[in-house]
Amino acid sequence: MSNKSIVVTGASKGIGRAIALQFAKHGFNVAVCARNQADLDNLKAELQAISPNSKILALGCDVRQKDEVLAFAKQVTDNFGTVDVLVNNAGIFLPGEVHSEPEGTLEQLIETNLYSAYHITRALIGDMKARKSGSIFNVSSVAGVQAYHNGGSYSISKFAMQGFSKALREELKPHNIKVTTLVPGATLTNSWAGSGLPDERFMKAEDIAQAVWDVYSLSANTVVEEITLRPVLGDI
């Protein structure tokens, strides 16, 4: 029996990296993409060490570019054949206010945080539909539920991700494909670099990854539509 397969976008660091490592521990074939090839190469070596019998793809990809996203998806299908889990994690955070943030901020955030998920989902969903099986995790943010100061276009992009995920959930019910929206609060990733806050104030990326695995591990009869995780002391 062949290994099951997971695809994680934006996986070289933070939450995406932790999810890739978590599923590798369970023998999954893993395909990851990000912009920094050196970070991907390091991750690939770690994934292969964890699961020597798994296929590991680690390909450079600027998810703002539709052609690069589709090329990555083609490599996945050519090498894996089927995809059991898709994690739309790629995203960036740029602080600012709608009325004063630099020109182009909205476009950059929407292209990275939303369009990337839209394009790769459309590219990989056909096989899941044919098999009537699969799980999709869309990584949103508490910023997509409640706008906050200096959130600007980032918040807009995450509200859009919430809408994308809800629409997908409704569309894929007849095809028996699970769709889960992840809504994490402050997690210890590069997005918070230089904040000056102690590490203990943040959630660990590994906790998010554990939550994804736990949700995935439920029976075929059950889907968790949305899961919100926050630091124990609340939002920052």
For the chain, which domains are there? 5-229 (3.40.50.720)
Q: What is the pLDDT of residue 9?
A: 98
Q: Return the pLDDT at 197.
A: 86
Catalytic residues, by residue number, are 154
Give me 55's structure tokens.
């296929």
pLDDT of residue 195: 80
pLDDT, position 199: 87
Q: Which one-letter amino acid corresponds to residue 114? A: L
On whether the CB atoms of residues 179 and 225 are closer than 8 A, the answer is yes
Block mean pLDDT (10 aa), the chain, length 236: 89 96 98 95 97 97 98 97 97 95 97 98 98 98 94 97 98 98 91 81 96 98 97 92
Half-sphere exposure of 50 (CA within 13 A, CB side): 20
- Residue 110: other Cβ atoms inside 10 A: 17
Residue 63, helix vs strand vs coil: coil
How far, in Å, CA of 219 to CA of 196, rounded?
A: 42
Find where tokens 């990584």 sit.
Answer: 139
In the beta sheet, which residues pair with residue 5? 29
pLDDT at 188: 86
Q: What is the pTM of this model?
A: 0.96
pLDDT at 161: 98
